[in-house]
Amino acid sequence: MPKFLTNNNYLRKQCDTLIFVNQMKYKLDRSAHSVYSLHYHLVVVIKYRRKALYDEVIRERLKQIIWSLTDELGIEILIQEPAEDHLHILFTATPTTNLSNVVNVIKGVTARRLRQEFPKTKEFLWGDSFWSNSYFLSSTGQVSLDVLMQYVESQMEKV
């Protein structure tokens, strides 16, 4: 049996989605040929940082619209929180998820529906724009980058 399978710091159960490596707990997803844990932080901003999401009703509707897109996009929303001029979404995805498509669909569908359902938002913006052309997308982990770097660096010590 390989050394890493007999190590007490490594525990894997076929039926569970948790793996413990040196006391770090990972929630894993599985597909036919892969095991993964992919988390992303997305931030999109209203064009010109205008406060078009000025009302709680609009912000709640925005969240509902995004929730309705999750199956189509193949993502799972962990948390999302809109402010008056921007939106944060923390989500998980699969290795085959087209992230730029996720962002474009979220921005396109939400802009169109919010403009239709809340015509007053047009007063805050001009033209056909709702979201800024840019966005911020970062991969995240279930542990901090510092902890992960220490873990990777310590692997040579175990050989």
Catalytic residue among 26, 54, 135, 151: 151
3-state secondary structure of 16: coil
User: Taking a C-beta distance cutoff of 8 angstroms, is the pair 76, 70 a contact?
Assistant: yes
User: Cα–Cα distance between 85 and 98 in angstroms, integer?
Assistant: 26
151 catalytic residue (yes or no): yes
Query: What is the Cα–Cα distance from 64 to 47, expressed in whole angstroms?
Result: 21
Structure tokens at 97: 């998820």
**H-assigned helices in 33-98:** 56-73
Alpha carbon distance 46, 42 (integer Å): 13
Active site residues: 151
